[in-house]
């Protein structure tokens, strides 16, 4: 058996372990949440997002399913509502600041705040071995800037609690800083993004802006950017970096007002985004995000996970 086959076997074994863990119910002692706990999931009308809504609602939370189109969201939620789950649909387009503002005001008026935010909304226009950057600006705008703006808008609405509020962002191993493959070739930039003393929102924004500028002038191919799903990889690299930055910023909040932020890779999931070519089910893809959102004793922040295990950024 070669290295690739052994790695595939290990992944399959871990997926089976995680699937088994998912069948184990939380004890009353572990359940810090109730029907009054409010979770928001972005881009949740299909795929991983819809499954995250499903699993959270199955655990007894109230889940806000957001979608760019209300009718699409309502259709997606229909089966969940028929099953007696507490799911509410609301329109939200994370690339539209006015849409985020309207949503935040609606949350404040109807629920007074939220306890969990799952940033799932995202786009990817590469399929198979294709590596087009034709839609790079839209990918960065949605996956990074949209996610960042959503986090900023929801933090003031995070309700105080002894268990702490939670933010989970769906990301990707493709955005790892120090992966053996597909990493940024500029060593200095990579070190700056890795160094918590140097990491800043300005640095992250400047990095993705520079990438977009080089896409526009055609120089990106020779500037050391990732070579696999380049625009998607850069957007998730930015999400990962912003997660680490916000974890540091939020760590100073007093007890009772803690907010824990982490991100995770769902794997290559069989959804419309992957052209149904993935090797992981939506159920397995959603699992780690739900697990992070519900951790009974949430002491981790600014970490990156896959299959319920921490991995390096």
Which one is catalytic: 232, 242, 260, 264?
232
Question: Buried b / exposed e across 12-48, counting CB within 10 Å, b at 16+?
Answer: eeebeebeeebeeeeeeeeebbeeebbbbbbbbbbbb
- Please name each of the domains of the chain with its CATH number: 33-311 (3.40.50.720)
- Please state, as a whole number, how many other Cβ atoms lie within 10 Å of the Cβ of residue 308: 15
Chain CA centroid to CA 207, Å: 20
- Please state, as a whole number, how many other Cβ atoms lie within 10 Å of the Cβ of residue 160: 15
252 token code pair = 């100073």
Bridge-based pairing state of the strands 259-264 and 87-91 = unpaired
Specify whether 260 is catalytic. Answer: no
9: helix, strand or coil: helix
Is residue 193 packed enough to be buried (19+ CB in 10 Å), middle (13-18) or exposed (0-12)?
Answer: buried
85 token code pair = 């789950």
Specify whether the CB–CB gap between 138 and 216 falls below 8 A. Answer: no
Specify whether the CB–CB gap between 44 and 53 falls below 8 A. Answer: yes
**pTM, 2 dp:** 0.95
Tens of pLDDT, residue by residue, the chain (313 residues):
677 788 788 888 988 998 899 999 999 999 999 999 999 999 999 999 999 999 999 999 999 999 999 999 999 999 999 999 999 999 999 999 999 999 999 999 999 999 999 999 999 999 888 899 999 999 999 999 999 999 999 999 999 999 999 999 999 999 999 888 889 999 999 999 999 999 999 999 999 999 999 999 999 999 999 999 999 999 999 999 999 999 999 999 999 999 999 999 998 766 655 555 667 899 999 999 999 999 998 789 999 999 999 999 9
């Amino acid at each position: 058996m070669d290295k690739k086959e052994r790695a595939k076997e290990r992944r399959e074994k871990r997926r089976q372990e995680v699937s088994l863990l998912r069948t184990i119910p939380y004890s009353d002692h572990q359940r810090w949440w109730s029907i009054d706990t409010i979770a928001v999931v972005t881009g949740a009308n299909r795929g991983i997002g819809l499954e995250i809504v499903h699993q959270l609602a199955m655990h007894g939370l109230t889940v806000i399913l957001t979608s760019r189109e209300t009718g699409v969201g309502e259709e997606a939620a229909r089966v969940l509502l028929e099953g007696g789950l507490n799911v509410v649909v609301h329109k939200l387009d994370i690339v539209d600041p006015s849409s985020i503002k309207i949503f935040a005001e609606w949350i404040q008026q109807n629920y007074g705040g939220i306890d969990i935010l799952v940033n799932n909304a995202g786009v990817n226009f590469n399929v198979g071995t294709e590596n087009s950057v034709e839609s790079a600006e839209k990918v960065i705008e949605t996956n990074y800037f949209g996610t960042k703006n959503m986090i900023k808008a929801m933090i003031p609405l995070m309700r105080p609690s002894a268990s702490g509020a939670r933010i989970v962002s769906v990301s990707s191993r493709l955005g790892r800083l120090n992966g053996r493959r597909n990493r940024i070739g500029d060593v200095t930039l990579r070190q700056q993004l890795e160094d918590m003393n140097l990491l800043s929102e300005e640095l992250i924004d400047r990095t993705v802006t520079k990438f977009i500028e080089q896409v526009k002038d055609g120089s990106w191919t020779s500037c050391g950017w990732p070579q696999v799903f380049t625009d998607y990889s850069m957007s998730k690299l930015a999400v990962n970096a912003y997660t680490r930055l916000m974890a540091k910023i939020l760590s100073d909040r007093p007890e009772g007002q803690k907010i824990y932020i982490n991100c995770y890779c769902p794997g290559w999931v069989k959804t419309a985004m992957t052209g149904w070519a993935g090797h992981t089910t939506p159920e397995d893809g959603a699992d780690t995000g739900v697990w992070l959102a519900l951790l009974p004793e949430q002491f981790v922040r600014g970490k990156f996970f896959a299959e319920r295990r921490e991995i390096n950024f």
